[in-house]
Structure 1
Amino acid sequence: MLTWRRRLLTPSHDETRLATRGFHVKDAAAKEVLETVGARFLDGFGEAVGTRTVAELEEYLETVPTRFRGFAAEGAAMGLAVLDALPMVRSGRVDTFLGGRGRDHVYMALVGVGWAMARLPRLLWPRPDRFDPLLRWLVLDGYGFHQAYFHTDDWVHGDRRRPVLDWARDDAAYEGRAIDQGIGRALWFVAGTDARRAADLVDAYPEHRRADLWGGIGLAATYAGGATTEELEHLVTRSGPYRADLAQGSAFAAEARLRAGLEVPHVGAATAVLAGTDPVTAARVCEDTRPVDGADGAERPGEPAYETWRRHIGQALTTGRLTAPTAPTGGAR
């Protein structure tokens, strides 16, 4: 292991502690979940920059507890993207990872690349055409999460302006929406998994941005967990006209976890309430509505196929065509 590189590049675990970030502490259990997520992310990053081969990294990821393995994969992808950007190290590690076992973690991996972009000079950013044309928007989702998580005063409590990155070029008009989806995920962390506080944070943003923020909250509340059934039901109530966006985010989380074989009890508790169904059905909706030709399939002017896909998922889950199972008693954190 290249210990010197790991020590030089890996942030301290203190950087992801709620007290350091100034995030809300709902209770001890929620605090432990969120801080463990942060720690496992940084562990994955450290392994990525400290191992010699992607194969060694893949072996490490298999040892991470199921609940937190996706976050370790996300951190690992960030680390690989940072190494790929270094002039003396460039070697296509992200491509190797996504072509191997990392394929199952593609959602989290692309988000991790977005974290790396937030830390790298623009000249070192990866080109968008390196990634799946449908899923590349998850890179900007990761960028938005990073900025809201580490620059909370400006991105969450301040003027809340979205940057114009012009990274996606042909579809640059959608960039802000993808970034907002990542900000929405971060709001779940900023709120300490407190559903009421998270909803209040969304309400502080302009109305035209709330759909994407609710989608992010649905994803984080399902993938990371930390809420009881009662709290999840509060999210449904508060989402109001954005109910379908909340459901879509929850379904995305189920798809990401099941694809990687990482289902845990709190995922089913969340999809039962937020998506109105079980994780397997929610994931199947994502697959059934996925555009056949990848980036093709957009239905509205200026709307990439990714957004058409997201909209179809939300509609399928909230139009009464699915039978919702009984939510697990008490939920699961």
Structure 2
Amino acid sequence: MTGMWAASRRRILTPSTSQTKLKRRGFHEKNPEAKEQLETAGAMFLAGYALAAQAGPAWEAESGLATLPRDYRGFAYEGAGMGFAVRDAIAPRRRHMTADLIDGRGADHVYMIYVGVGWALARLPRAFWGRMTDSLTDPVLRWLILDGYGFHQAYFHTDKYVNRQFTRADFPWPQAGPAAYANRVVDQGIGRAMWFVHGADPQRLADAIDSFPQTRRADLYAGSALAVTYAGGLDESELRVFKQRSRHYAPQVAQASAFAATARVRAGNQTPHTALATGLLAGVTPDEAARVCLGAFPDPSERTAAGEPAFEVWRERIAAALAVASAA
């Protein structure tokens, strides 16, 4: 009976893989190779989501996650983060399955799991948000949930969030704020999704970002740089185009690229395109990027001069350290 209920839960909760097809979404298709890479990332997300939907305790999903292709496993953990967050939210009694996933093998994919929770935030009413986030206690990494929220909105509501450039006046989460900074992290997620929306075409992507208000472009380019580095889908010449088009936001681009490399180094799933992107955009190897990012991690109580939270302190420290490293 337990197995039948788990299988039913998986069927009910898991979206169709057709939702990740570029053609279905109306996204640009640059070439077959990029199309396959981006669609595979989406399929692996849903595979991880399905494993989380079917699992009993969180550890039951880990064996299935371990069988998925190494290069795409991070996307699967992102999907599992969403799946367990949904289950935490709708369970009849309090559960902390997402935190349990992080406490297990998911620790190596912690950034991706936090981002996945943002997808759940986008799918469920605000009344459920506390139930899915109250056990995710890292005050720095919690901001990544909003990156995931922004990605979801741009990916599934592209006309509103990308074409019409929608932004909320005051984002209602986290309650401790600051709300204005929340919108910046949402923009980073939107920028990351725009890499998929524009089919890994750097010229189309840059044209779209440059159409946004200037005050939003740094975060949009940062999110795109993270996707360029982590997801890939472009060759070296195209990567140089992206670097040239984003040159006015080089510190933010370098920071985001280094952060993407750190996520892969920590998970042990580095790829050639990540090394290439990190070298060109951040001026360091993935291992060096990881040392910079992990060494710059702030105390949660720290604030920037503008009063922004420790997550932004972290980003600024990474950018500054990379500038020193590239100048050496």
Instruction: Tell me, in whole angstroms, the C-alpha distance in 2 between the residues paired with 1:163 and 1:256.
Output: 31
| 1:321 shift after superposition | 4.2
| 1:167 shift after superposition | 0.9
Farther-moved stretch of structure 1 (206-215 vs 124-133) = 124-133
Decide which of 264, 276, 279 is 2:283's aligned counterpart.
276
Identify the residue that residue 215 of structure 2 maps to in structure 1: 208
After TM superposition, the structure 1 = structure 2 runs for residues 5-24 of structure 1, keeping only pairs within 5 Å, are 5-24=9-28
Q: Which runs of 5+ in 2 are unaligned?
A: none
Instruction: Tell me, in whole angstroms, the C-alpha distance in 2 between the residues paired with 1:163 and 1:26.
Output: 34
**Contact 2:51/2:65 (8 A) holds in 1:** no
Identify the residue that residue 83 of structure 2 maps to in structure 1: 79
Instruction: Tell me, in whole angstroms, the C-alpha distance in 1 between the residues paired with 2:28 and 2:199.
Output: 5
TM-score (norm 1): 0.93
Instruction: Tell me, in whole angstroms, the C-alpha distance in 2 between the residues paired with 1:130 and 1:186.
Output: 27
Instruction: Tell me, in whole angstroms, the C-alpha distance in 1 between the residues paired with 2:91 and 2:135.
Output: 18
After TM superposition, the structure 1 = structure 2 runs for residues 238-317 of structure 1, keeping only pairs within 5 Å, are 238-291=245-298, 293=299, 295-317=300-322
**Contact 2:28/2:198 (8 A) holds in 1:** yes
Identify the residue that residue 67 of structure 1 maps to in structure 2: 71
Q: Which runs of 5+ in 1 are unaligned?
A: 324-333
Is residue 28 from structure 1 mapped to residue 35 from structure 2 by the alignment?
no
Farther-moved stretch of structure 1 (80-89 vs 63-72) = 80-89
After TM superposition, the structure 1 = structure 2 runs for residues 156-167 of structure 1, keeping only pairs within 5 Å, are 156-162=162-168, 164-167=170-173
After TM superposition, the structure 1 = structure 2 runs for residues 181-192 of structure 1, keeping only pairs within 5 Å, are 181-192=188-199
Amino acid at match of 2:293: C
Is residue 53 from structure 1 mapped to residue 57 from structure 2 by the alignment?
yes
Detail structure 1 runs of 4+ shifted over 6 Å in the superposition: none
Identify the residue that residue 329 of structure 1 maps to in structure 2: none
| 1:221 shift after superposition | 0.4
Where 1:67 maps in the other structure, the secondary structure is helix
1:151-207 deviation per Cα after TM superposition (whole angstroms, max 9, x unaligned): 000000014223533211222221000100100100100110101111111111110
Instruction: Tell me, in whole angstroms, the C-alpha distance in 2 between the residues paired with 1:263 and 1:320.
Output: 21
Farther-moved stretch of structure 1 (142-151 vs 161-170) = 161-170
Instruction: Tell me, in whole angstroms, the C-alpha distance in 2 between the residues paired with 1:159 and 1:149.
Output: 13
Identify the residue that residue 143 of structure 1 maps to in structure 2: 149
CA RMSD of aligned residues (A): 1.5
Is residue 104 from structure 1 mapped to residue 108 from structure 2 by the alignment?
yes
1:114-160 deviation per Cα after TM superposition (whole angstroms, max 9, x unaligned): 00010001100136553310111100000000000000000000142
Instruction: Tell me, in whole angstroms, the C-alpha distance in 2 between the residues paired with 1:53 and 1:239.
Output: 44
Instruction: Tell me, in whole angstroms, the C-alpha distance in 2 between the residues paired with 1:321 and 1:222.
Output: 18
Identify the residue that residue 133 of structure 1 maps to in structure 2: 139
Alignment: residue pair count: 321
Farther-moved stretch of structure 1 (1-10 vs 181-190) = 1-10
| 1:249 shift after superposition | 0.8
Amino acid at match of 1:30: A
| 1:89 shift after superposition | 6.1
Q: Could you say if the C-alpha distance between residues 107 and 322 of structure 1 is closer, same or farther in structure 2, counting changes exceeding 3 Å? A: farther
Name the % identity.
52
1:57-111 deviation per Cα after TM superposition (whole angstroms, max 9, x unaligned): 1111111111100000000010000001114364210111111111111100000
1:197-225 deviation per Cα after TM superposition (whole angstroms, max 9, x unaligned): 11111111110011111110111001001
Identify the residue that residue 232 of structure 2 maps to in structure 1: 225
Identify the residue that residue 330 of structure 1 maps to in structure 2: none
**Contact 1:83/1:89 (8 A) holds in 2:** no
Instruction: Tell me, in whole angstroms, the C-alpha distance in 1 between the residues paired with 2:24 and 2:273.
Output: 27
Instruction: Tell me, in whole angstroms, the C-alpha distance in 1 between the residues paired with 2:73 and 2:11.
Output: 22
1:236-274 deviation per Cα after TM superposition (whole angstroms, max 9, x unaligned): 111122011111110010111111111111110111111
Farther-moved stretch of structure 1 (177-186 vs 83-92) = 83-92
Instruction: Tell me, in whole angstroms, the C-alpha distance in 1 between the residues paired with 2:90 and 2:73.
Output: 26
Which has a greater percent of helix?
Answer: 2
Farther-moved stretch of structure 1 (245-254 vs 82-91) = 82-91
| 1:299 shift after superposition | 2.8
| 1:280 shift after superposition | 0.5
**Contact 1:160/1:205 (8 A) holds in 2:** no
Identify the residue that residue 203 of structure 2 maps to in structure 1: 196
Instruction: Tell me, in whole angstroms, the C-alpha distance in 2 between the residues paired with 1:16 and 1:94.
Output: 23
Q: Could you say if the C-alpha distance between residues 163 and 102 of structure 1 is closer, same or farther in structure 2, counting changes exceeding 3 Å? A: farther
Amino acid at match of 2:167: R
Farther-moved stretch of structure 1 (82-91 vs 302-311) = 82-91
